[in-house]
Structure 1
Amino acid sequence: MKIQYRDESLDFEEVPDETISDLAVRAATHIGADVGRVSFFFLPKPGFMKYPFPERKLSDFITPTTRIKLVGTPNSEVKKIVEMSAASRRTTRPSNFKPVKANKVRDWKKVQEESTYTFHAIEPLPYLPNPEKSRRYLERLANDPGIKASMRKHGFSVGLLTEMNPAEHTTHESKTLGLNRNRGEVIELRLRTDAYDGYRDYKVIRKTLCHELSHNVWGEHDRNFWNLTKEIEQEVERNDTLHGGHRLSNEEFYNPDDSYDEAEHADAGGWTGGDFVLGGSTSEPGLSRREIMAKAAESRMRKEKEAAERRDSPSPS
């Protein structure tokens, strides 16, 4: 059995009746990582898997064409990151030392956390106009300093961040601004205006994302949910170093006529069950959530390989 890990292809002996959980322990041991710090992509199915792993037998779905990608950070690297972070904090300078130029110290603990507590895949709806613009919007949300800081603090990990089709989530009484499926497996956001002639305001959508991230913890709209939502919103505003004030007036996703109305946010709480369809209406056949995440990972792997090949290829003389 071959497993892709970073730039290596690892060979693992096939074990009869082995489960995903068993393989995770073997793989974590092989790379010297804690099992809670590794995850798998089984392509094409069942897709993305993370700790705690199911006790499902590999023989139930592994075929000769199945590809397996292992993601994980060895304990030695984690230790190095922690030590470098501690060393940077211990570093002192003589009182008379005046550097010509300040050196930026990289926060390795923050780097490690941001790679764990993040949106692991980002995909727009390909059948709506200008999907690449939607992708830029989603990527901007994922890289928002306030959102990233809040995700690190609360340990939020989201499998897929995508957009929703307004037509499929509007009634005469309300409209859904966002959905969180299975406590962070998929978050959908209503990026577009109802008439499909533009995009909703960035800060409005960011506030919707705060609401949906709260559903990673609380399903019902009870006091616990609203307290956490308010906490996340305050954290995002406090850490907003890029989009503060009125600087969005010249930005791509600024819409002065848009506003956030909690009363119309009919997301029915943290939704569980069913298959999420990317590329058609909810009644049409499509990909499951795990398949979407797996395809996104496959696409990233392909792009990384193409980029590496371009770097290695000799330049024309």
Structure 2
Amino acid sequence: MNDSEQESQPKGAPLPLASEVSTSYINDGEHFEMTIKFAPEKHSQSWLFRDDTTFEDLLMALGHQWPEYDFLKSKAIVEKRQSPPSSSSTTKTKSLLKTPDDDALPMQLYAGNSLRFMAPKKSALESLHAASASIAKREAALQAQRRMAYKGRPAPTSSQRTDSDTRFTFQTIRPLPHLPNPSRSLSFLNRLASDPGIRTAMRSHQFTVGLLTEMDPGQYTASNHEGTTRILGLNRNKGEVIELRLRTDAYDGYRDYKTIRKTLCHELAHNVHGDHDRQFWDLCKQIEREVERADYTKNGRVVGGEEYEYGPGPVNELPDEGEEEGMVMDHGGWTGGTYVLGASDAVPSPTSAESAGLTRREILAKAAEERMKKASGPKQGSENEDGRRG
């Protein structure tokens, strides 16, 4: 590539693939290389970038490459993290990038890394908005019918409880319309939202969640030589959005109801505490106990004048997967970022002050976090050529 061809490209635009450029050009000190991965298009190739490229520039380049995807709503997970030669050993880099928080972030900090992008199709977003509008329209019509049916009847004596249910609840419930059978996922989410134990806990702690939705298992499952990692739930911005893993990996069934309900208890605790510290676990266990008390029944229990039964779940609902390899709730509340989850077969001994007094479940979660930190690359200290810590 000659100088005139370089100058004709816009600022931040990716240069030709590394395989098309000579080694001397790659190492001329003015450009750097990253591997861009985008699973929907089966793309995994090395790209070259100018030194002044930002995350926003990279998103614009990806948008030109695949215009049918909305990269303004994308996320980038950093894989095979390594420090670029020009960076200081004290430089801290993020493991997940998203817009607009990281638009101005220099991509040179991630030279030599692999960035795995996740982005929704624009057509899927349009379908989601259309489905949400249709659901809202039907709900408004049903509410109008209820008002007409109850017009003139005495006001219920439990008006105070009804007001609390209206305030401390899930304001919007929405499945993913691009996955198979979204109506069944909507029924599953409604079942969770109307669960008497969940309702009791939300009133007790005055929890309000903006959106309760499902997550796409394919976007939150990763496998490597150490095993399979699955994210079971996410809480964004302390209750703005809660995502739950309802479906099996093959999309042919749904996971155990009580396991998902336990994940929801975990994510509700992140409405208050972001980190997995002592306060978080105490609150999480308190919520779980409250929910279990509401489920203390053999054939059903009357709550607020209504009877709720806990019989078998939907067809194809699988047994409890909570103890399967790689199944971990999450790694903390997502505030301007997220955490990738994993699990470890070995449970470290709680010898440090930080681990003292933790239960086996809490130690497993902490071990999973440490494993993912180690898998993402060295944080501090030296590393030998064979990848072992020095």
TM-score, normalised to structure 2, is 0.41
More strand per residue: 2
Higher CA-based Rg: 2
Q: Which has the higher contact order (CA 8 A, sep 6+)?
A: 1
TM-score, normalised to structure 1, is 0.50
